[in-house]
Chain A
Amino acid sequence: MFLLHLLPDSFLLFIVNTVLILGISLTIIAFFIPSFNPIIQKYKLLAQIVGVLILSLGIYWKGGYSVEMDWREKVRVMEEQIKNLKVEVDQANGKVKTVVVTKIQKVVDKQVEIQKVIEEKEKIIDAECKVPKEAIQILNTAAENPGNAPAQDLGDKK
């Protein structure tokens, strides 16, 4: 019932109930209440047909209106749930962000300490060792990601 969205709910309910009541009234009058008026008696069949049609329409609209209102309520409830859960989403994001930042800071701090130690012990470390070029080449090749960049040639293997 796409046209239902264009009208206010109270007005819609008024129209639906009016048609239903009109249909019920006309049907009862046309079928069950004997009429002594010859003019009404003349149009009895027409009144019965119209009464039934209006009653059918009223029942159909009433059903459709009820279904529409049910769906609107479901949509409203779900939107409310989503709104409430947004708070949980933001909290989860904040928690993860805090954990990541804290842990990475610890890694950075440790790296700084290690670099200090290397600088302190540099002379001892370098005293009796000269690193060959082949070792540097191997390390650099290992540092490359084969999924991202082309592999470097290792050179002559001994």
Chain B
Amino acid sequence: MKLLMLAPVLFLTAGCNHVVPVKQTWPEVPAEVAAPCANLKKLPEDTEKLSEVISNVAGNYSEYHKCQIKQQSWAEWYKLQKEIFEKINK
């Protein structure tokens, strides 16, 4: 009868299967890609020279091009990381 008291202890060792999940962390995006795009530059209110206007517009075009590069790089980075992630999870 005393031995029967061991039975619950024995069943404890045969409990639910405990599976340790494998943790896969999503990689950090490079800072150059994650940096936010700058705001467009404004002109001083008292601007009269056309050259200053052209300079401002050219500068803003440049900011747009940088932003476009970042956005395209972000999409490329995400696509690459997704392909790598899916390799493991096939």
Contact = CB atoms under 8 A, between A and B. Distances in A.
Interface stretch (A26-34, A35-43, A59-67): A59-67
Contacts of B12: 3
| Size category, A interface | 35 or more
A57 B19 CA distance: 22
A130 B53 contact: no
B43 A140 contact: yes
Interface residues of B, number: 50
Interface of B: 10, 12-20, 22, 24, 27, 30, 32-33, 39-45, 47-60, 62, 65-66, 69-70, 73, 76-77, 80-81, 84, 87-88
Given A88-B84, A92-B84, A107-B69, A135 B40 contact: no
Interface string A33-77: 000000000000000000000000100110010011001000100
- 8 tightest A-B CB contacts, nearest first: A143-B40, A111-B62, A92-B80, A97-B30, A140-B42, A125-B51, A129-B50, A122-B51
A148 interface: yes
A155 to B, nearest CB: 11
Contacts, number: 139
B85 to A, nearest CB: 8
12 contacts: A2-B15, A57-B14, A61-B13, A75-B22, A78-B88, A82-B22, A101-B32, A103-B73, A107-B65, A115-B55, A130-B48, A145-B40
Given A85-B87, A133-B45, A140-B42, A96 B33 contact: yes
A151 interface: no
Given A1-B14, A64-B17, A96 B53 contact: no
A126 B48 CA distance: 9
Nearest to A19: B10
A92 B78 CA distance: 10
Contacts of A118: 51, 54-55, 58
Contacts of A85: 84, 87-88
B39 A145 contact: yes
Contacts of B17: 1, 64, 67-68, 71
A2 to B, nearest CB: 5
Nearest to A76: B22
